[in-house]
Structure 1
Amino acid sequence: MDFSYSQEQDMLRTSVAKLLERSYDFDTRQALVASDAPWSSEVWTQFAELGLTMLPFGEEQGGLGGSIADCVAFAPLFGEHLVVEPYAASTLLAGGALAASGTSVALEWIEKLASGEATLAFAYEEGSGTATPEQTTMTAESVGDGVTLNGEKRLVIAGDAADAMVVVARRSDTGKLGFYLVEAGTNGITTRPYKTIDGRAAATVVFNQVSATAVLLEDADDALEAMLAKAIIVQSAECLGAMKALLTITGEYAMTRKQFGQPIGMFQVVAHRLADMKIAYTKALSTLTYTTALANSGSETARDIAVLKGQMGKLGREIGEAAIQTHGGVGMTDELSVSHFHKRILAFDASLGDHAYHLRRVGQLA
């Protein structure tokens, strides 16, 4: 099987890399995170111009009909540059719910999303990393011709800045999960915005007798599983990009930082640590490549996704901790990018079930 990128994927990677190298260096990114802006509207517009926001949607929905492999091709670059724009949340998760719906309202929002005119949030998490849809407790109750939502969602990426939210809630009558569109400013919504440890704009959103703008899908259990699997694969690719950056930065530092007249990379303990980082990165790359190939052919299983999520979180933490150890105290400071890459990996691991949960699940699904 050929695991290399196609010519089109290489061209897309090159275009995204040039954009991020030009507009997303570390100092620019840090200034953006420190500002009141949730993300760069200019960069988001450029993502749309490159076709990233319309890539996952089918041609019949006005998209480019891209595959999961196409998204994985450029996603590591987001991790290498610590991008804070809500690509996965808005395009893959919220956009995936719209695509699964297929209603006229959904198609209207897909057009806005694909053109870069709008961003959407995906309100799913309810606790310390909602690992499975079974843990969803937020309720949706039929009232007259509409649906009323009650409950709380946490860690809603772009929850206070998006034009609308796709909310996952459990129907009070059937017990099934559904997708519900709620436009920004709807009565009964209370948001508590904050920045995550890795610099992304998020919010806790409380729904108190909120009337859904539209019902997207009333039986969404299967669609949700597929969307979460796709998001985990693409976010794993972002995580891999952060790992690669840490590997490069730490290797360069070890060969320039000197003690006792020679680079610290020449000392056996540091050399072994760098070798372990390289091995961990290679394992992560192999796992991601294999899982992406399975998903691209539609043959991935829940166990494959659990293996990927468990491995990426575990190996990412190992690389981050080794990078900080090699840099010493300066590796913990905000002035150096090392700590920020490690925070991105930790944030990835904590969402949608951490590595310990997913590695246990591998055994359960065996």
Structure 2
Amino acid sequence: MDFTFTAEQNELRSTVTRALKREYPFEKRQAIVASAAGWSPDIWQRLVELGLTAIPFAEDAGGLGGSIVDLVAVAEIFGSHLLAEPWTASVVLAGGLLAGAADTTAATAGSGDTIGTATSGTGTSATAAARACLERIAAGESIGALAHEEGRGTPDPSLIATRAERTDGGHALTGDKRMVLHGAGADVLVVTARLDGELALFLVDPVAATATPFTTIDGRSAAHLRFDEAPATLLAAEAEPLVREALDRAIVVLSAEAVGAMGELLRRTSEYAFTREQFGVPIGTQQALGHRLADMKIAYLKARATLLHTTALAEAHRLSAGDVAVLKAQVGRLGREVGESAIQIHGGVGMTDELPVGHLHKRILAVDALFGQADHHLRVLGAAAVG
């Protein structure tokens, strides 16, 4: 399958690269990550001005009507610059599910059905709620977060244990969510929970959740969330297919971040190897290191080829769970190989906080940990092969 970015997408990538090089150098990024918020409203506003928060959403929701290819094109650049702002959490994760919920409930309402009961809202009200949130996210006025994973090492929607109960005013959620990107700072919180035995999608006021905030190893803000009969608005019932599709697309975009970090590691390590001298010659001229650099490049190219192939499948609506598992496993395994080699070639300085090398490796590891590590997805592929 042939795949290349269009001229417009390459121009977008160049524009984003120039903006981040100018306004988001590594030293400034480190200061931002160390701040109380963990991200910069000024940088966020710059992303909004470039239209990056509106890329995937329909034009009638304030978006640009872009595709997953557009998201991947941008995410790869973000990964290479270690972006800490909540673009992935808000636009890709929360926004992706809100867009799917709005489309699903609108179609259901149009068929004459309703979502839930008389006390839980209708398809029309659910669509309105999702659309309102989408418009604010697309405009950069709201920060969204998805509370889905529950610490089981897998994103499998069938294993979600958070439960929803019907109440006189709608629904109430009880359960724990782990590793919610920007979960403590979001004002739009999308939550998966089980309603009558089926997976459903809810909108919850963030103040109704008890948040335990922390910083991930790669510098992003995150939180564990606890819901104790938290009031919730039903967005979509029987939402497992919707959630699976949105998570698959999110994994593709997250993998693009990791591949971007891999590419930057390869660039920096190659530059260092032919600048750093030992015994009067660049260390990169040593055969062993030359082979190591070649292995790094092969690993990077394999990961990027897998990413582009999977992106093309997603754009053609031919993406399967197996395709996503292959991508996540490949990027996780090959990314670790590239990161470890980069640190070893740099030597002791590769472990310091003053250089981006270790931070890029941490970004790759953090992406691998989200929505199932490489080993989990390899087990998924193995089970499918023998099943």
- List aligned pairs for 1:286-325, cutoff 5 A: 286-325=305-344
Instruction: Describe the superposition over 1:22-56 as per-residue Cα deviations: whole angstroms up to 9, x where unpaired.
Output: 11110000000111123111111121221111111
Distance in 1 (alpha carbons) for counterparts of 2:338 and 2:236: 40
* RMSD of Structure 2 on Structure 1 (CA): 1.2
Choose from 186, 202, 208 the match for 2:222: 202
Equivalent in the alignment of 1:86: 86
Partner-residue secondary structure (3-state), 1:365: helix
Q: Does 1:41 align with 2:61?
A: no
Distance in 2 between the 1:63 and 1:2 partners? 28
**Aligned positions of 1:238-257 closer than 5 A:** 238-257=257-276
Q: Which residue in the other structure is 1:137 paired with?
A: 161
Q: CA deviation at 1:128?
A: 4.8
Q: Deviations over 1:212-257 (max 9, x none)?
A: 1x21111110011110111111111111110011001111111111
Contact 2:191/2:202 (8 A) holds in 1: yes
Q: Secondary structure at the match of 1:185?
A: helix
Does the Cα contact within 8 Å between 2:263 and 2:300 map onto a contact in 1? yes
Q: After the TM superposition, which residues 217-232 of structure 1 pair with which residues of structure 2 at under 5 Å, given as runs?
A: 217-232=236-251
Whether the 8 Å CA contact 1:140–1:150 is kept in 2: the answer is yes
Q: Which runs of 5+ in 1 are unaligned?
A: none
Contact 1:291 1:300 in 2 (8 A): yes
The equivalent position to 2:175 in structure 1, one of 148, 151, 154, is 151
Q: What code does the residue aligned with 1:155 have? A: M
Give the structure 2 partner of residue 4 of structure 1.
4
8 Å Cα contact 1:97/1:216 also seen in 2:
no
* One-letter amino acid of the structure 1 residue matched with residue 79 of structure 2: G
Q: What secondary structure does 2:295 align onto?
A: helix
Displacement after TM superposition at 1:2 (Å): 4.4
Aligned to 1:116: 140
1:162 matched to 2:186 = yes
Q: Choose 116-125 or 92-101, whichever is displaced more.
A: 92-101
Structure 2 counterpart SS, 1:167? strand
User: Is this contact kept in 1: 2:153–2:376, CA < 8 A?
Assistant: no
Q: What displacement does 1:129 show? A: 3.2
Q: 2:116 — aligned with what?
A: none
Matched, 1:328 2:347: yes
Deviations 1:186-206 (A, max 9, x none): 3xx211111110000111111
Aligned counterparts of 2:152 and 2:51: Cα–Cα separation in 1: 34
Matched residue SS, 2:207: coil
Equivalent residue in structure 2 for 1:180, among 195, 202, 223: 202
In structure 1, C-alpha distance between the alignment counterparts of 2:242 and 2:205, rounded to whole Å = 21
Provide the residue aligned with 2:107 in structure 1: none
Q: What is the alpha-carbon distance in structure 1 between the residues aligned to residue 355 and residue 38 of structure 2? A: 22
- SS of equivalent to 2:238: coil
1:358 — aligned with what?
Answer: 377
Identity %: 52
CA contact (8 A) 1:159 1:193 kept: yes
8 Å Cα contact 1:90-1:120 kept in structure 2: yes
Q: 1 CA distance for matches of 2:148 and 2:72?
A: 23
Deviations 1:88-109 (A, max 9, x none): 2211221122112221011111
2:225 counterpart letter in structure 1: V
SS of equivalent residue, structure 1 residue 256 = coil
Letter in 1 for 2:229: Q
Aligned length: 361
Q: Give the whole-Å Cα distance in 2 for the aligned partners of 1:131 and 1:258.
A: 46
- Post-superposition Cα deviations, 1:245-287, rounded to whole Å, max 9, x if no partner, equal 1001111111111112211111121111101000000101110
Shift of residue 156 of structure 1? Answer: 0.8
The answer to whether residue 365 in structure 2 is matched with residue 346 in structure 1 is yes
Partner of 2:76: 76
User: Over residues 326-362 of structure 1, what are the superposed CA-to-partner deviations in whole Å (9 max), with x where a residue is unaligned?
Assistant: 1112211111111100100000111101001112212
- Is residue 101–residue 242 contact of structure 2 (8 Å, CA) maintained in 1? no
CA distance in 2 between counterparts of 1:273 and 1:134 reads: 42
Corresponding residue of 2:62:
62
TM-score, normalization by structure 1: 0.96
Alpha-carbon separation, structure 2, partners of 1:9 and 1:77? 12
Contact 1:128 1:350 in 2 (8 A): no
**CA 1:81–1:285: 2 relative to 1, 3 Å:** same
Compute the displacement of 1:135 (Å): 2.1
Gaps of 5+ in 2: 103-126
Cα distance in 1 for partners of 2:149, 2:48 equals 27
CA positional deviation for 1:297 = 0.5
Equivalent residue, structure 1, for 2:18: 18
Q: What is the CA–CA distance in structure 2 between the aligned matches of 1:197 and 1:2, rounded to whole Å?
A: 36
